[in-house]
Amino acid sequence: MELIRSISKMRDWSKSHRERGRKIAFVPTMGYFHDGHLALMKRASELGDKVVVSIFVNPTQFGPTEDFARYPRNLDRDIDLASSVGVDCIFYPEASEMYPEGFDTWVEVPGLAKGLCGASRPGHFRGVTTVVLKLFNIVAPHVAVFGQKDYQQLKIIQKMVRDLNIPIEIVPHPIVREPDGLAMSSRNTYLSAEERKSALCLYKALMRAKELYEGGVTSAKALRQEVEEIIRSTPLTRIDYCFLGSGETLTEEEELGPGSVIALAVWVGKTRLIDNVLL
């Protein structure tokens, strides 16, 4: 497996594999791998001949009071894990090369980025779309895999790719969970033992709502009540948002149906966790 730090070397690597007719599959990440990341990499190796994973804790997608500085990082561990699932290349750029002095071009998908995480994290998705487009231009993959854990991010990237005619196929990957149901996340490492117990309320609430929906309850109001009650009755938690609506337009619906999504962001102690379920 190769570790590439410079943008020009990454371009050369991709160009030479493209010239040899290889299909390049790409997984952008912020590192500190868990089994969710590794599942995306395995999916990428089914989709392409060569797999590139980027590790970049992107400063422009963090707000001034967010966890950029303390976001977990461990490159040596990530290299071992990625090579264990057959990744061919890790792209690990420097922030100073990604955002040189005077950088001032941004990509925005304002409609889809308005609500949910976009409302509580102003500027977050502008940072995400900008860095993902830059990574797409540098890595030049044929296909890229994104997790449904970050559902809003996935929809925004799909829209950016359509709207800007980016010749890359976006492949969604289902949420990978711990045995008890907690969605895997690099941020789960922030949780104390007590908080880890409380964190399960996101999954529990979503599963309860799905069960009610499958039993015929389609009223967003009724489902919201149930979800919020489960979270409110869990210690150490505070709801950031509870969204029930269209999985395509990300606008709220009064009656849910096929294609609707229930998405949650919940503070557990000082850690903000997200999860969702597609109906």
Q: Hey, which residues are catalytic here? A: 37
Strands (E), the chain: 2-4, 24-29, 50-55, 89-91, 143-147, 169-173, 237-246, 260-268, 271-278
List the beta bridge partners of residue 275: 264
Which C-beta is closer to ligand AMP: that of 148 or that of 237? Answer: 148
d(CA 53, CA 215): 41
Dig out the tokens for 235 from the structure: 């210690």
Nearest 5°: the CA angle 172, 175, 177 is: 160
Strands, sheet with 2-4, edge to edge from the N-terminal-most edge strand: 2-4, 89-91, 50-55, 24-29, 143-147, 169-173
Residue nearest to ligand AMP (CB): 147
Which of 13, 17, 26, 29 contacts ligand AMP by CB under 6 A? 29
| Per CB under 6 A, 265 contacts ligand AMP | no
Q: Which stretch binds ligand AMP (CB under 6 A): 4-12, 18-26, 168-176, 250-258?
A: 168-176
| Per CB under 6 A, 144 contacts ligand AMP | no
| Per CB under 6 A, 14 contacts ligand AMP | no
Q: Which stretch binds ligand AMP (CB under 6 A): 83-91, 170-178, 230-238, 260-268?
A: 170-178
We find the least distance from the C-beta atom of residue 148 to ligand AMP, in angstroms, to be 6
| Per CB under 6 A, 51 contacts ligand AMP | no
Check: CB of residue 115 under 8 Å from CB of residue 20. no
Which C-beta is closer to ligand AMP: that of 53 or that of 223? Answer: 53
Which C-beta is closer to ligand AMP: that of 50 or that of 155? Answer: 155
Which of 36, 115, 245, 247 contacts ligand AMP by CB under 6 A? 36
Which of 42, 50, 149, 272 contacts ligand AMP by CB under 6 A? 149
Dig out the tokens for 177 from the structure: 């969970």
Which of 13, 14, 37, 256 contacts ligand AMP by CB under 6 A? 37
Helices 151-163 and 124-139, packing angle to 10 deg: 60
d(CA 48, CA 136): 15
* Residues counted in the chain: 279
Site for ligand AMP in 178-197 (CB under 6 A): 183-186
Check: CB of residue 120 under 8 Å from CB of residue 241. yes
Return residues touching ligand AMP (CB under 6 A). 29-30, 36-37, 40, 146-147, 149-150, 173, 175-176, 183-186
